[in-house]
Amino acid sequence: MTDHRSADEGTQQHDDTTAEPMTSARLLSIMQAERAEWEALLARVEEARMTEPGIEGPWSVKDIVAHLTWYDRTFVEGAQTVMRGEPFVRTGLRAMEMDGRNECIAAESRDRPVHDVLADSRQVFDQVLAVVRACPDDVLNDGRRFGLPDDVPPWVLVANNTYEHYREHGRAVRVWLDRR
């Protein structure tokens, strides 16, 4: 499974491009609304089916949730590191190529119970929200503070790593549900 979003790798096109700077209040609102949609989608999947492979290659819903959680956690760790004035260093899984990294993430969670993966996902998302709440609007819009190109505001990384990532995988889960 190839995934093209990451908290610590470049940026992708995002759906909420505006000429106006992003505020943390607006970003939080979008993130919470999109997360609610993601949670509603997950609620459509019976727990017994969450481990069925075949959504994106061999991945199950549980694998996708663990994958999204890993990227959310990486965002939290990276943002906290940078906000402390330290450089964000790619080590371990972060330094791997995307496909290898994603395989490792899936393997790490394979034996974890579904309810643990879901609880971890919700807990880490709360941490993502806390990081964004603590981030002043000027920081969300100034890529230079994070070592990004001048035209890449940090909020774009947040969007790519959270709600756009949920949208991407949500489409695959919907297709899988519709086939069943």
Mean pLDDT to the nearest integer, 138-150: 79
Q: What is the pLDDT of residue 87?
A: 63
CA dist., res. 49 & res. 71, Å (int): 23
- What percent of the chain stands above pLDDT 70? 82
Contact 118, 65 (CB under 8 A): yes
Both tokens assigned to 25: 């209040």
- Whether residue 5 lies inside any domain: the answer is no
- Whether residue 9 lies inside any domain: the answer is no
CATH number of the domain bearing residue 93: 1.20.120.450
Mean pLDDT to the nearest integer, 20-31: 92
- Whether residue 8 lies inside any domain: the answer is no
Contact 75, 7 (CB under 8 A): yes
* Total of domains in the chain: 1
- Whether residue 139 lies inside any domain: the answer is yes
- Whether residue 73 lies inside any domain: the answer is yes
* Domain region containing 158: 24-46+54-179
- Whether residue 113 lies inside any domain: the answer is yes
- Whether residue 87 lies inside any domain: the answer is yes
Both tokens assigned to 80: 């906290």
**pTM to 2 decimal places:** 0.82
Q: Express each pLDDT in 77-131 by its tens digit.
A: 888 877 777 766 555 555 456 677 777 777 788 889 999 999 999 999 999 999 9
- Whether residue 3 lies inside any domain: the answer is no
